[in-house]
Amino acid sequence: MLLRRLLIRLMGALVVVWGAATLAFAVLKLVPGDPVDVMLGVNSTASEDVRQQIRNDLGLDQPVISQYLGYLGRLVTGDLGTSYRLQKPVATVITEQLGPTITLALASIVIALVLAIVVSVAARGPITRRIAELLELLALSSPGFWTGLLLLTIFSFNLHWFPVTGGQGARALVLPAVTMALPIAGILSQLLRSGFDAAEREPFTTSARARGLGPVRMFTRHHARHGSLPVVTLTAYIMGSLLGGTVIVEQLFGRRGIGRITLDAITNRDLPVVMALVVMAAVVFVVVNLIVDALYPLLDARLRGRSV
């Protein structure tokens, strides 16, 4: 029974990835202009024979359907094609940049979660609640490029605590991670607070209070878990979108990463890279979804033994 459910889930996931791959392929075919021109650059003086040779090599002279099937076939074997511009396998291009992006995404999420938990727990009192609401709104509504510049001005240019751009170490990670974490912390903190508030209004809270529980026990034993349920879902989705790259922060802090190559690939019409990134984003979201689905029944017993 469990196995069957798992299989159905996996099939669904594959269909989503296949759909994304097909869409990416369709976009490639719909984009006007000759990919060979793009590959060779505008100033190329290559003869028509050479161009024909390249088309042959890439299979561009074949009918669309066999190109599509060939593309899917290569995709299944993990071959994402070759970047027009960099003349390197797309897989290599992406994996080179994946490390910094994952590091940044994880660091941001961790910072955001810590901030959100601290703020939402501190906000149980009437006055701290007002302050928390204000901070959340501020964090949510400040655009990343502005927060980033502000942080750079204060901590890099004036205090010289952190490097201005580039760099590899942990110190170089702090400012970009905080910049990305702040708006996320704002959302998560709001969600946590409303979750705690909702649990507060539930009848089981009255029962527990009648058993002599004080506010601390009430929180650790009952409300913390209820409040964290929706946060699990949202955190996972945010994680997914961060792995897709964050152009502004990478650009601002001069970091390498998926956001950077996405921007490069789109501006240079490096279509194999763009296609691969689309497929990757789909895979990331599907995987995140599966993890959340697997996690939920562990947190909430009511979801155990339910059908898909």
Residues near another protein, by CB under 8 A: 1, 202-204, 206-214, 217, 221-222, 225-226, 299-302, 305-307
Tell me the DSSP string of 95-128.
HHHHHHHHHHHHHHHHHHHHHHHHHHHHTTSHHH
Give 5 or 88: the residue with its C-beta nearer to another protein.
5
Minimum Å distance from CB 224 to another protein?
10
Give 96 or 202: the residue with its C-beta nearer to another protein.
202
Question: Residue for token digits 């561009």?
Answer: 60
Minimum Å distance from CB 198 to another protein?
12
3-state SS string for 236-285: HHHHHHHHCCCHHHHHHCCCCCHHHHHHHHHHCCCHHHHHHHHHHHHHHH
Instruction: Report how far apart, in Å, the C-alpha atoms of 266 and of each of 28, 38, 41, 242, 278 are.
Output: 12, 12, 15, 18, 12
Q: Which of 99, 75, 79 is nearest to 89 (CA)?
A: 79
Give 110 or 299: the residue with its C-beta nearer to another protein.
299
Give 8 or 76: the residue with its C-beta nearer to another protein.
8
Minimum Å distance from CB 301 to another protein?
4
Give 200 or 264: the residue with its C-beta nearer to another protein.
200
Minimum Å distance from CB 295 to another protein?
14
Q: How many Cβ atoms from other residues are within 10 Å of residue 123's Cβ?
A: 23
Token readout for 221 is 């034993």
> Rounded to an integer, what distance in angstroms lies between the CA atom of residue 297 and that of residue 308?
12
Minimum Å distance from CB 217 to another protein?
7
